[in-house]
Amino acid sequence: MLKLSFRKVCGLLLILFVAGSLAAGCYDDSELRASIEDLKTQLGQLTTLVNNLQNDDSVTGVTQNPDGSYTINFKKSGSVTISNGKDGQNGQDGQNGQDGQDGSIVNVVKGPDTYTFIFSDGTTVILPRYSEVRTLTFEDGDYVGPIKMANYWSSHIDTPQYGGPLLYSEGCRWEDDLNTFLCGEVQPYDAETWSGGFSGGGVALSNYGSGELKGADFKRQLECFVPGLEGSVRQGAGNNRSDNFAVAYDGGAWGVAPTLTMKDGVARVILSAYINNTCYTLNSLVNGDGYNPPMAKDGFFKIVATGYVGEEVTGTEEFFLAKGEYGFVNNWTKWDLSGLGAVDKVSFSLVGSAEQYGTYGLNTPAYFAIDDISVRYYPD
């Protein structure tokens, strides 16, 4: 980001002033007087912007007014209106003076995370756009969407975990409207094509948790592993012992990838999320099951996140749910997703080491738990 110091601003304006004086020579000084006034106006405007920049202020919005002036709203400093200068008058004697330039600011460009103010002499000042971090917690008390429900998130949690009506019949779509704008779904089950449902992949909501791996199979597919929990619980299994979270399942070649989408289509940076293993997946990796041996000592099991804007890939990030000598993830762990850049969609796939594959693909249960997804949001 270009940051102009006050000294540099004054230097630029002094050069303009001297150039204007030399150009005036012995001719009519009306142009010179107009130039001086314009320089004074521009100095004041530049000083305002530079001072706010040095105070770590940020812009919440810019409006161009009917008279050509700009009203700039700052997070800390309130609003300022920067007026344009006036045209210089033609000289009465001697060589005609040149018309003065209209205004000091000639253009304002809103970028992905900055505003660029372009002045008539080519000088630019770049200020950050105000942004805030919003987090999808899946907790009922944090819901701010348009649907007035005290239990919005909890109402999307199926029971039982396997074979329930939401995940294996009618489907389930959830939306964090008016907050992060993230949404996800499990498609309705189609009996004719045997497609859809959670068996085909998706992102389901959950509040199931346990600290026991023994007996963890597909019937406990929504259960997050949390050390110290006794038996199966319906509270306190989320990140920071919150109640609700989400479970993603990769349907692989026979289904769909679990996907988070920006409902309004606006690309935003997903900063991070907290990830954990489910009991079903962790039990398979540690102890093996009827389809899979335990993970090899040098094996791995990981999530690959792919970001998109439209159909264009913005980048990929990896998170290891298990990796050789590093062991297994058995608690909520933060995953930095900012490297994907601004995305309107992110999809997840699960990849394992060679011993986890069979004739029809990956044998390890392709689940992971996700909670507290943070998104950078620009209110303007």
Q: Please provide the DSSP assignment of 164-213 as one string.
A: -HIIIII-EEEE-TTTT-EEEEEPPPBTTTTB-SGGG-EEEEE-EEES--
The Cα-based distances of 27 to 33, 94, 183, 377 in angstroms read 12, 6, 68, 55
Q: Does residue 288 sit in the same domain as residue 339?
A: yes
Residues 211 and 322 in one domain: yes
pLDDT band at 157 (very low <50, low <70, confident <90, very high): very high
Averaged pLDDT score across all residues of the chain: 85
Could you tell me if residue 240 is inside a domain?
A: yes
Same domain, 168 and 98: no
In a domain, 352, yes or no: yes
Q: CA end-to-end span of the chain, whole Å? A: 20
Q: What's the whole-model pTM score?
A: 0.83
Interatomic CA distance for residues 87 and 103, integer angstroms = 8
Which of 130, 152, 170 terminates a domain? The answer is 130
Q: Is it the case that residue 99 has pLDDT exceeding 60?
A: no
**What pLDDT does residue 3 have?**
43
Integer CA distances (angstroms), 353 to 234, 292, 298, in order: 33, 12, 9
252/111 same-domain check: no
- 121 and 157: one domain? no
Q: How far, in Å, CA of 228 to CA of 212, rounded?
A: 8
Residue 1 lies in a domain: no
Closest CA to 376 of 349, 348, 347, 336: 336
Same domain, residue pair 204 and 249: yes
**E-assigned strand segments in 1-159:** 59-64, 70-74, 78-82, 105-110, 114-119, 124-128, 132-136
CATH number at residue 251: 2.60.120.1350
Write down the residue that tokens 């601004």 correspond to: 342
Domain boundary among 78, 106, 130: 130
Of the pLDDT bands very low, low, confident and very high (cuts 50, 70, 90), residue 43 is low
Residues 260 and 160 in one domain: yes
Both 269 and 122 in a single domain? Answer: no
> Is residue 48 pLDDT above 90, yes or no?
no
Arithmetic mean of pLDDT, 189-195: 89
Max mean pLDDT among 24-33, 65-74, 123-132, 175-184 falls in 175-184
Residue 191 is encoded by which pair of tokens? 């009996």
Is residue 51 over pLDDT 50?
A: yes
85-99, 239-253, 287-301: the lowest-pLDDT one: 85-99
Residues 192 and 319 in one domain: yes
User: If 0-12 CB within 10 Å is exposed, 13-18 middle and 19+ buried, where does residue 236 land?
Assistant: middle
Are 111 and 380 in contact by the 8 Å Cβ rule? The answer is no
Give the domain-ending residue among 89, 110, 130. 130
Would residue 191 count as lying in a domain?
A: yes
Q: Which one has a higher pLDDT value, 22 or 120?
A: 120
| Residues 115, 241 within the same domain | no
43 with 187, same domain: the answer is: no
The domain in which residue 212 lies consists of 133-377
The total number of structural domains in the chain stands at: 2
Report strand pairing: 114-119 vs 124-128.
antiparallel
Q: Mean pLDDT, to the nearest integer, of 209-227?
A: 95
Instruction: Give CA–CA dist 313/335, Å, rounded.
Output: 19
At 145 the pLDDT is 92
Same domain flag for 142 and 93: no
pLDDT of residue 53: 67
Give the integer Cα–Cα distance in Å for 135 and 145: 13
Mean pLDDT of 52-63: 83
In this prediction, residue 23 carries a pLDDT of 43
pLDDT, one tens digit per residue, over 268-292 is 999 999 999 999 999 999 999 988 8
pLDDT value at position 92? 42
